[in-house]
A and B are shown apart, each in its own frame.
Chain A
Amino acid sequence: GNSVTQMEGPVTLSEEAFLTINCTYTATGYPSLFWYVQYPGEGLQLLLKATKADDKGSNKGFEATYRKETTSFHLEKGSVQVSDSAVYFCALSASATGTASKLTFGTGTRLQVTL
Chain B
Amino acid sequence: DAGITQSPRHKVTETGTPVTLRCHQTENHRYMYWYRQDPGHGLRLIHYSYGVKDTDKGEVSDGYSVSRSKTEDFLLTLESATSSQTSVYFCAISALDNSPLHFGNGTRLTVT
Of the candidates B42, B99, B105, B106, which one forms a contact with A101 in the assembled complex, judged by CB atoms under 8 Å apart?
B99
B residues 76-112 in Cβ contact with A at 8 Å: 90, 92, 94, 97-106
1/0 per position for A78-107, CB-CB distance to B under 8 A?
Answer: 000000000001000101111111110111
| Also in contact, A32 and B105, with CB within 8 A (given A100-B31, A107-B41) | no
For residue B91, give the distance in angstroms from its CB to the closest CB of chain A.
8
Complex interface: chain A residues within 8 A of B33 (CB): 100, 102
Task: Return chain A residues, CB-CB under 8 Å to B104.
Answer: 43
Interface of B is mostly: strand
Contact with B along A44-55 (1 / 0, CB 8 A): 111001000000
Is A42 part of the contact surface with B, judged by Cβ < 8 Å? yes
Report yes or no: B48 in contact with A102, Cβ–Cβ below 8 A.
yes
Q: List 9 A-B contacts (CB under 8 A).
A: A32-B98, A36-B103, A44-B43, A93-B98, A95-B97, A99-B98, A101-B31, A101-B99, A103-B43
The reply to whether B101 and A101 contact each other, CB–CB distance below 8 Å, is yes
Contact of B50 with A101 in the complex, beta carbons under 8 Å: no
Does A61 belong to the interface (CB within 8 Å)? Answer: no
Q: A-side interface residues toward B, CB under 8 Å?
A: 4, 32, 34, 36, 41-46, 49, 89, 93, 95-103, 105-108
The 10 closest A-B pairs by CB, nearest first: A43-B103, A105-B42, A107-B42, A105-B43, A44-B103, A46-B100, A100-B31, A43-B105, A101-B94, A98-B97
Q: Which residues from chain B contact A46 at a C-beta distance below 8 Å?
A: 100-102
Residues of chain B within 8 A of A32, CB atoms compared: 98
Q: Say yes or no: B97 contacts A45, CB within 8 Å.
A: no
Residues of A within 8 A of B16 (CB): none
- With a cutoff of 8 Å between Cβ atoms, the chain B residues found around residue A41 in the complex are 105
Contacts of A101 in B (CB 8 A): 31, 94, 97-101
Please give, as numbers and ranges, the residues of chain B lying within 8 Å of A100 by CB-CB distance: 31, 33, 48, 50, 56, 94, 97
Residue of A nearest to B39 (CB): A107
Closest to A90 in B: B42
